[in-house]
Amino acid sequence: MVKRLFLLKRNLFFLFWLLGGLLLLLAYTVPGFGTFWAEGPYRAVVSFFAPLIALLPFSVFEWGLYALILLLLFFIPFGIVRLIRHREERLFRFCKGLLTPILLLGVLFFLYAAFCGVNYTRTSFAESSGLPVKERSTGELYSLCVSLAEDANALRDGLPEGIDGAMQTHFSSQEERRWAASEAFNQLEDEFPTLWSASIAPKSIFLSEGMCYLKITGIYMPLTLEANVNTAIRPDELAATMCHELSHLRGYMEEAEANFIAYLACIKSDDKECRYAGTLLALIHAKNALYKADPDKNSEINALLSDGVKRDLTARNAFWQQYETPVAQVAESINDGYLKLNQQSDGVKSYGRMVDLLLAWQEVQKKE
């Protein structure tokens, strides 16, 4: 009976690994499969299960991870003791014990492939939305920065401030804030059908302070279909981060596209704080690009910024500086490798591609 169960586990182990591998093979070899998957099976499953999971006020991924760590702390020593005490069939017992985590990894690999990996090969958001991404002049980039700076100044006026003069949130709870982000995102569907609306809100991580040390603001978890967010970050960054992770949940995995979609969601929100967070996200990316192209022009943009916006940017820099540690550098290197593995060849630098989308959006808006 025991050996029969062992063989069953072995077959399941191969099945999940093969299914996950087959999905990724189809995604990277069959043209259009990624888009079919993202807009068909993936969307159907997420539309059904994610709203149910979103009803839980805690992150299933986070607390599941803690539970897994506790189980490992118990079962690993327990398994070692059993191997020492039962010398008969020691090799079989060792292989049987090893097969369980391998089987679990097979399931996780399949879930990653089905709810994340394949989506990296879908048609880009720029292409599906008809955004004219192309080479742009420094003048166009400067014009974009001026427009974003003016928007940020206008939105910053009247927002609540703390003792240090930096912006503070007006939301009374994280629950209220996360559903406000969901409502903002849902307004995109009429204009962008691939960004379907759903009753899905991002999840707050309980130990968000720990994520700061890893320089992680949010993480989409395909295993639990959750958009997890570090709620310890500054409020002028949080709404955009929430919408960024919701973009991943809609199947857009590329970081620059998720940033741009977050910007669109925020600026279409009815909440001024959300609109400001999205505009600040776009402004920072555009200014970074302008600084590389023409530092003098970037200085002109800095002079245009209101005192309130300047205080917020200073406060954000100060916030992240306190988490500049070797641990954060290792975490960033791991993230860089992950992005490259999924064909975002520029690694972390791929976030700069958002500027091309912003410039394309600027062109579209001028024509309307």
Which of the two residues, 215 and 156, has the higher pLDDT score? 156
pLDDT above 60: residue 322: yes
Residue 219 pairs with which residues in a beta bridge? 228
Q: Which of 345, 347, 324 is nearest to 335 (CA)?
A: 347
List CB contacts of 99: < 8 A, sequence separation 6 or more.
6, 9, 10, 13
- To which H or E segment does residue 220 belong? strand 218-221
N residues, the chain: 368
pLDDT at residue number 72: 73
pLDDT at 8 over 70: no
SS3 161: strand
Could you give the dihedral angle defined by the CA atoms of residues 82, 85, 87 and 93, in that order, rounded to the nearest 10 degrees?
-10
Q: What is the DSSP string of 244-267?
A: HHHHHHTT---HHHHHHHHHHHHH
The whole-number pLDDT of residue 86 equals 61
Q: Can you tell me the mean pLDDT for 232-248?
A: 96
Res 346 pLDDT > 50: no
Q: How far apart are CA 111 and CA 92, in angstroms?
A: 29
What is the distance between the alpha carbons of residues 223 and 61, in angstroms, rounded to a whole number? 8
Model confidence over 47-92: pLDDT tens digits? Answer: 999 999 998 989 999 999 998 888 877 766 655 555 556 655 555 5
Residue 215, C-beta contacts closer than 8 angstroms, at least 6 positions apart: 320, 323, 328, 331, 332
Residue 349's pLDDT is: 36
Q: Which tens digits make up the pLDDT trace of 261-274?
A: 999 999 999 999 99
Give residue-wise pLDDT tens across range 123-175. Answer: 999 999 999 888 888 999 999 999 999 999 999 999 999 999 999 999 988 88
**Out of 24-28, 208-212, 310-314, which region has the weakest mean confidence (pLDDT)?**
208-212
- Residue given tokens 């290197």 in the structure block: 333
Q: Give the pLDDT confidence score for residue 350 in this predicted structure.
A: 33
Give percent of the chain with pLDDT exceeding 70.
Answer: 82
Res 259 pLDDT > 70: yes
CB 217 within 8 A of CB 233: yes
Instruction: Tell me if 219 sits within 8 A of 244, measured CB to CB.
Output: no
Helices (H), 118-200: 125-129, 138-156, 174-186
The distance between the two most distant Cα atoms of the chain, rounded to a whole number of Å, is 78
Q: How confident is the model at residue 9 (pLDDT cuts 50, 70, 90)?
A: low
SS3 218: strand
Rounded distance between C-alpha atoms, residue 258 and residue 261, angstroms:
5
Taking residues 253-268, report their average pLDDT: 95
pLDDT at 169: 94
Tell me which amino acid residue 171 is.
F
The SS3 assignment for 226 reads strand
For tokens 């189809």, the residue is 26
Six-digit token string for 2: 């025991």
The whole-number pLDDT of residue 342 equals 58
Give the mean pLDDT of 177-188. 94
Question: Which candidate, 319, 363, 283, places its Cα nearest to that of 166?
Answer: 319
Query: What is the DSSP-derived secondary structure letter of residue 227?
Result: E
What was the pLDDT predicted at 135? 85
Q: How far is CA 183 from the centre of its chain?
A: 18
